[in-house]
Chains A and B, each alone.
Chain A
Amino acid sequence: MKKQITLTVNGVKRELFVSPNELLLNVLRDQLGLTGAKYGCGIGECGSCTVLLDGEPSLACLTLAIAVDGSEVTTIEGLQSRDGKLHPLQDSFLEHGAVQCGFCTPGMILTGKVLLDENPRPTEEEIRAYIRGNLCRCTGYTQIVQAIQDASVKGKA
């Protein structure tokens, strides 16, 4: 039986009807058309479905939508400012060519954002430890780490 829930997604309040077995990721992608968060492994190992749930990095593929009724969700689509200006970390990813196929990028940037909010000047080691649950199979991570570090050095994030 479907139940009504309220989610504040990227600052906009949404009333949604969900079944108990619907995952947050499916609701974001199928009901709201927010396809930034990706389906990778589906079992909590790749991080490509990462979204911020009340500000904390969470796996939308292992979250029941019904269980997060009332929460605030931030996806990659919500990171840019209202006038369409990219978040400094997104700019930094572009500058550093930290994107190849792009599949891991939304999760990677959201995890990177939480890191910089928490620790504005992380070392390379701290960055690598923090993003270890976000797998990238293209870039070899070097540019990703540099992009996060550069955004931190410039104090832009």
Chain B
Amino acid sequence: MVNSHILPHEFEFVEPHTLEEALTCMAAYPGKAQFMAGGTDLLVQMKMGRVRPEVIVGLSKIPALRYLILDQGLRIGALTTFRQIERSELIQRRYTALYEAAMAVTSIQIKTMGTLGGNLCHGSPAADSAPPLIAFGAEVKMINGDRERVVPLETFFAGAGQTLLTQEELMVEIRVPEPRANTGSAFMKLGRVSADLAKVSVAVVIEREQDICRDCKIVLGAVAEMPLRTKEAELILRGKIFKEDLVEEASLRVSEEVRPIDDSRSTSWYRKEVSRILVRDALNLAWERAV
């Protein structure tokens, strides 16, 4: 029986203060250690007996991982919390869908503790931050020793709970390009109640030129084994005059492109139905904002 009131297994806890130290700690325990950011996912996994690290490398004392820098786009330190994201007026104005996703994270407590990097590295298909970041074309920077690599977030997820990140690798930064002029965005999430994980979530980013949709990205969460960009639906709108019937057509296409499962939170059928409605509403809202 799982007892969520204790962490039954003993482990060693190390707390580096710099990135270098963090990587050295990790390299010292090959295959046995795990990084911990906010802990809201890892500790639950440990209580449930799904993971059992011998060593936890706590990252919260590394100031070099907490920052929000506006520099030809946005650079976000991996340990930035959802609370910091939702308090940024700049993100609210320019990266509205990301702001709305931070607002939609289950509770004030989780927003305070949970970090953007942790949310992504956990690899949940329902991660609130993934759809807007993918829709904005974000890249993530990962380091390991003196090696570093930067990959598009769109290619970062490898399956439910799986990412490209190797065990020794550390995600340090999320880079979001500057949106073009006349771009609008929106994030919508349906859960059983607002303090719940998503049954379906949608992020839309639209670039507008008068009546024409110059470009658009539509990314959904919780409807596939990983966050999913629906490119066929995007094609329906790209370069066309933004009209109700095209929006309906694109939304319907999304519901055909997604491949949701039945689970405790919803059924596949329901997720498809809701995808269509959420995408339609998110497209219209992002369009109105793109001025």
- Given A21-B9, A44-B109, A44-B110; A67-B194 close (CB under 8 Å): no
Considering the complex, which residues of chain A in the window 54-68 have a beta carbon less than 8 Å from any beta carbon of chain B? 56-59, 61-64, 66-67
Considering the complex, which residues of chain B in the window 1-29 have a beta carbon less than 8 Å from any beta carbon of chain A? 3-13, 15
The answer to whether A133 and B13 touch across the interface, beta carbons within 8 angstroms, is no
Considering the complex, which residues of chain B in the window 38-57 have a beta carbon less than 8 Å from any beta carbon of chain A? 39-40, 43-44, 47-48, 56
Pick the residue among A20, A56, A58, A111 that contacts B12 (CB under 8 A): A20
Is residue B60 within 8 Å, beta carbon to beta carbon, of the partner chain? Answer: yes
Report Cα–Cα, A104/B113, bound state, in Å.
20
- Digitize A21-53: 1 where CB-to-B-CB distance is under 8 Å, 0 elsewhere: 111001000000000000101111101001000
Is residue B107 within 8 Å, beta carbon to beta carbon, of the partner chain? Answer: yes
Closest to A22 in B: B7
Report Cα–Cα, A133/B40, bound state, in Å.
14
Pick the residue among B8, B10, B44, B47 that contacts A20 (CB under 8 A): B10
Report Cα–Cα, A108/B56, bound state, in Å.
31
- Given A57-B112, A58-B109, A67-B15; A21-B194 close (CB under 8 Å): no
Cβ–Cβ < 8 Å partners of A135 in chain B: 195
Pick the residue among B7, B58, B108 that contacts A111 (CB under 8 A): B108
The answer to whether B108 and A133 touch across the interface, beta carbons within 8 angstroms, is yes
Is residue A132 within 8 Å, beta carbon to beta carbon, of the partner chain? Answer: yes
Report Cα–Cα, A50/B39, bound state, in Å.
15
Is residue A12 within 8 Å, beta carbon to beta carbon, of the partner chain? Answer: no
Minimum C-beta distance from A75 to chain B (A): 14
Report Cα–Cα, A56/B111, bound state, in Å.
10
- Given A59-B40, A64-B58; A133-B113 close (CB under 8 Å): no
The answer to whether B6 and A20 touch across the interface, beta carbons within 8 angstroms, is no
Minimum C-beta distance from B136 to chain A (A): 25
Pick the residue among B3, B44, B56, B109 that contacts A50 (CB under 8 A): B109
Is residue B106 within 8 Å, beta carbon to beta carbon, of the partner chain? Answer: yes
Report Cα–Cα, A44/B44, bound state, in Å.
8
Cβ–Cβ < 8 Å partners of B12 in chain A: 20
Report Cα–Cα, A149/B106, bound state, in Å.
22
The SS class assigned to the B binding surface is loop
Cβ–Cβ < 8 Å partners of B3 in chain A: 42
Cβ–Cβ < 8 Å partners of B4 in chain A: 41-43, 61
The answer to whether B107 and A58 touch across the interface, beta carbons within 8 angstroms, is no
Is residue B193 within 8 Å, beta carbon to beta carbon, of the partner chain? Answer: yes
Minimum C-beta distance from B80 to chain A (A): 14
The answer to whether B193 and A132 touch across the interface, beta carbons within 8 angstroms, is yes
Cβ–Cβ < 8 Å partners of A23 in chain B: 6-7, 43
Pick the residue among B43, B44, B193 that contacts A64 (CB under 8 A): B43
Minimum C-beta distance from A47 to chain B (A): 6
The answer to whether A21 and B40 touch across the interface, beta carbons within 8 angstroms, is no
- Digitize B185-199: 1 where CB-to-A-CB distance is under 8 Å, 0 elsewhere: 000000001110000
The answer to whether B112 and A58 touch across the interface, beta carbons within 8 angstroms, is yes
Q: Which 5 A-B pairs have the closest CB atoms?
A: A133-B107, A42-B4, A20-B13, A21-B7, A132-B195
Q: A20-B13, A58-B113 are in contact. List 18 more A-B contacts (CB 8 A).
A: A19-B10, A20-B10, A21-B11, A26-B6, A41-B4, A42-B47, A43-B4, A44-B44, A45-B106, A57-B109, A59-B113, A62-B44, A64-B56, A67-B39, A67-B60, A111-B108, A133-B107, A133-B108
Q: Which residues of chain A have a CB within 8 Å of any CB of chain B?
A: 19-23, 26, 39, 41-45, 47, 50, 56-59, 61-64, 66-67, 111, 114, 129-135
Sample of 10 A–B contacts (CB below 8 Å) = A20-B12, A21-B9, A26-B5, A42-B4, A43-B48, A47-B109, A62-B113, A64-B58, A66-B13, A133-B109
